[in-house]
Amino acid sequence: MNDPVIEERVRRAVSRATGEDVAAAPVRRLAGHASARSYWRVGAYAPGGGRPASHVVMVMPPDARPEEVTEGGRPAVEPFVDVQRYLAGLGVRVPAVVAFYEDDPRGGLMVLEDLGDEMLETRLLAGDAPRPLYEAAIDQLARLRAAAERAPGGSVAFTRGFEQDLYRWELDHFREWLLEAWKGARLSPAERELVDREFDRISAALAAEPKGFTHRDYQSRNLMVLPGGAQAVIDFQDALLGPRQYDLVALLRDSYVELPDALVEAMLRRYLDQLAAHGGPRLAYGPFREVFDLLTVQRKLKDAGRFVFIDRVKKNPGFLVSIPASLRYVRDAFARRPDLAPLQEVLARHVPELAP
């Protein structure tokens, strides 16, 4: 059941933004996944041209902070508005910001264009062929990255990035929540020494990679499939600087959709071709894949720990079902990175899902 106070707030926001009377419009809460922000549809979504029949209102908690840990203090601008403007300027399809109201002590309200309910994930579940969907997502990502690398700057995303201590913090998030809180494991001093050393090595190697604009969570639940097949990007407020492979790991090693290995390789090769075609560098597949696999280990360990954190701290168990896929990705990446065998051996003693 909806909160009548929030219903009234979001209706008022839409009326204020559009000048229309929406007092009788239906209000429905939309899935917000793990975000502290909530999303509400005011009106009934109807795709097509003409006057929109509905809007989405983002309700932001007071003193909203980045959903994910990010280096640096709180930005002076609202990240969603800033990154939306930046991406739209690059030609990326993003929801239009109709209005943003910061003057409510109960939290900000942002009125957005309604892009509907069809995510890449839901189209896959409905039976759409995966390859065309992923080709479109890959092509868009390559165009975005190439354009951002040609003209870096102009967004809050360029003021923060994945540095060594942030990668390491995320790996410790896995140790604290998946290994210790979920598995009940305690590393011996010798095991802890090896894990710390390997986590430091992974973090340093990833931090040394060339950085550019990174969505951070470019995956099947953040790509909206519009009527006609175009894809729009959402949930970009945590964008920052990171390696080219990072958004590819989010998309192709998605905790919610598992893809065949052959499709993953084909999409990685397509990305490299598209990146070069749009003015980016021509990169060799082998070294690029090695970093992709290393990032898979780092990102999916973090995700597994994050899902436990969301359950234990945010009281949302809905992501626990995605832990097995995350751990399978790490296990498979370990198999492609024999230099990580000592780390795999220690972790697998306590997390059998990581064993070869």
Note whether 96 and 191 are same-domain residues. Answer: no
Domain of 124, CATH number, reads 3.90.1200.10
Is there a single domain that holds both residue 149 and residue 249?
Answer: yes
Going through the chain in order, the beta strands assigned E by DSSP cover: 27-30, 38-43, 54-59, 97-101, 109-113, 212-214, 223-225, 231-233, 240-242
Rounded distance between C-alpha atoms, residue 118 and residue 218, angstroms: 15
Q: Which residue has the tokens 């720990």?
A: 305
Name the domain boundary from 113, 138, 169. 113
Judge whether 194 and 340 are in contact, CB under 8 Å: no
* pLDDT given for residue 70 in this prediction: 58
Same domain membership, residue 324 and residue 185: yes
Per-residue model confidence (pLDDT) at position 107: 81
Q: Name the DSSP letter for residue 180.
A: I
pLDDT for 103 equals 80
| Residues belonging to the chain | 356
Helices then strands, each counted (H, E), the chain: 11, 9
Predicted pLDDT of residue 1 = 53
- Longest CA–CA separation in the chain, Å: 67
Same domain, 60 and 166: no
Q: Are residues 243 and 124 part of one domain?
A: yes
What is the Cα–Cα distance from 100 to 104, expressed in whole angstroms? Answer: 11
Residue 172 and residue 98 in one domain: no
Same domain, 80 and 164: no
Shared domain check, 153 and 66: no
Domain match, 87 and 136 both: no
* Interatomic CA distance for residues 164 and 256, integer angstroms: 27
Mention every residue, 6+ apart, whose C-beta is less than 8 A from residue 2. Answer: 27, 28, 29
Tell me: do 87 and 130 sit in the same domain.
Answer: no
Single residue among 66, 84, 113 that ends a domain in this structure: 113
Alpha-carbon separation of residue 247 from 145, 211, 223, 322 (angstroms): 10, 12, 12, 18
Q: How far apart are CA 178 and CA 187, in angstroms?
A: 13
Would you say 59 and 7 are in contact if contact means Cβ atoms under 8 Å apart?
A: no
Residue 91 belongs to domain spanning: 4-113
pLDDT score of 47 = 79
Looking at 113, 133, 166, which one is the last position of a domain? 113
* pLDDT of the residue at 277: 98
User: pLDDT tens string for the chain (356 positions)?
Assistant: 567 888 999 999 999 999 999 999 999 999 766 667 899 999 998 876 666 789 999 998 876 555 555 555 555 689 999 999 999 999 999 999 999 998 877 889 999 999 999 999 999 999 999 999 999 999 999 999 999 999 899 999 999 999 999 999 999 999 999 999 999 999 999 999 999 999 999 999 999 999 999 999 999 999 999 998 999 999 999 999 999 999 999 999 999 999 999 999 999 999 999 999 999 999 999 999 999 999 999 999 999 999 999 999 999 999 999 999 999 999 999 999 999 999 999 999 999 999 99
pLDDT number for residue 50: 62
Q: How many domains is the chain partitioned into structurally?
A: 2
CATH of the domain at 22: 3.30.200
Counting Cα atoms < 13 Å in the Cβ hemisphere of 157 gives 28
Q: 296 and 176, same structural domain?
A: yes
Please check whether residues 216 and 132 belong to one and the same domain.
yes
